[in-house]
Chains A and B, each alone.
Chain A
Amino acid sequence: MSEEKEKIVLKTAPFDNRFPNTNQTKNCWQNYVDYQRCIKAKGEDFEACQYFKRIYRIMCPNHWVEQWDEQVENGTFAGRI
């Protein structure tokens, strides 16, 4: 248990000046698109891309991400990657 305790850090997605309002939909979308662009340009192992992934995983509802992942796979995703 104590090992688990050490691993858990209370840290979440920081405040993003681009999205200061109650509506955070664009925040989630932008980070998802940025991640897809990042891995397309640099590959999935590129460490900096993981930042976007972490943020969109925190901000986006899981059922949205599942849908978008499918669309990316099928080439029907609406965003420009």
Chain B
Amino acid sequence: MKDFIKNVYCSLIRDANEPWQLGFQDAGSPVMEEIIMLHDQILFILTIIVGVVLWLIIRILLGNNYYSYYWNKLDGSLIEVIWTLIPAFILILIAFPSLRLLYIMDECGFSANITIKVTGHQWYWSYSYEDYGEKNIEFDSYMIPTADLELGDLRLLEVDNRLILPVDTNVRVLITAADVLHSWTVPSLAVKMDAVPGRINETGFLIKRPGIFYGQCSEICGANHSFMPIVVESVSLSKYIDWIGREDL
């Protein structure tokens, strides 16, 4: 029973996907919060549209009144103007917040405090911190096989070396690949960036809370594509600095 509780508790506190998941994972960064908000706004508009259209269809098909099928069957300038302008207005209502969000997501590198280099390999990720002068921290991050998992670990998602990052700090992530295409993805942090051999792609985020965020390679990269997960562990700034000071790889 104790093991079961520990297993459930460990699964619940971690930011990973779950069986039969329909919605987003909990947001770990402001951009993800904005994405969820935009999604909810669009779904709200969509619900109203579907409701109104269904209501009109039912009234037209069943009713023998003002809305019935034979009413206005030839032409109606006013209704045509209305059903052109309202959808146009609704589209504007969706497009502007969406564009705003797109530009916010693009501004990741402007004020970065930390740069992390991520390289995709067949089939693991390697991470490198080079900001701290001669102190070069570099390590590989391999998936832990199911046979070696401990109680509470998530299958196909745990790695031997997590990417450690501080909270409330702008992080720039430079992503490339050493062999074939990969994609570095962490849903809770709203990051998905292709890793392309011979090219460096920049993205970034700010983590809002301490936690463990899971992701998976999202570009088919060969036989073990499903077995190169990504784990980001966010810690307080002081703990991060302690870790950098300790790390001697």
Contacts and interface: CB of A to CB of B under 8 A. Distances in A.
Interface stretch (B44-52, B70-78, B127-135, B145-153): B127-135
Contact of B245 (A8, A24, A62): A8
B241 interface: yes
Interface residues of A, number: 24
Interface stretch (A9-17, A36-44, A71-79): A9-17
What's the dominant secondary structure at chain B's contact region? Answer: mixed
B41 to A, nearest CB: 26
Contacts of A62: 117, 128, 138
Contacts, number: 75
B200 A12 contact: no
B242 interface: yes
Contact of B174 (A7, A9, A10, A59): A59
Nearest to A29: B200
B110 interface: yes
Given A10-B114, A22-B106, 6 more contacts: A7-B245, A9-B132, A12-B112, A13-B115, A27-B200, A62-B117
Interface of B: 106, 109-115, 117, 119, 128, 130-132, 136, 138, 169, 172, 174, 176, 178, 193, 198-203, 237, 241-242, 244-246
6 contacts: A1-B246, A12-B131, A13-B115, A22-B201, A57-B136, A58-B131
Interface of A: 1, 4-5, 7-13, 15, 22-25, 27-28, 57-63
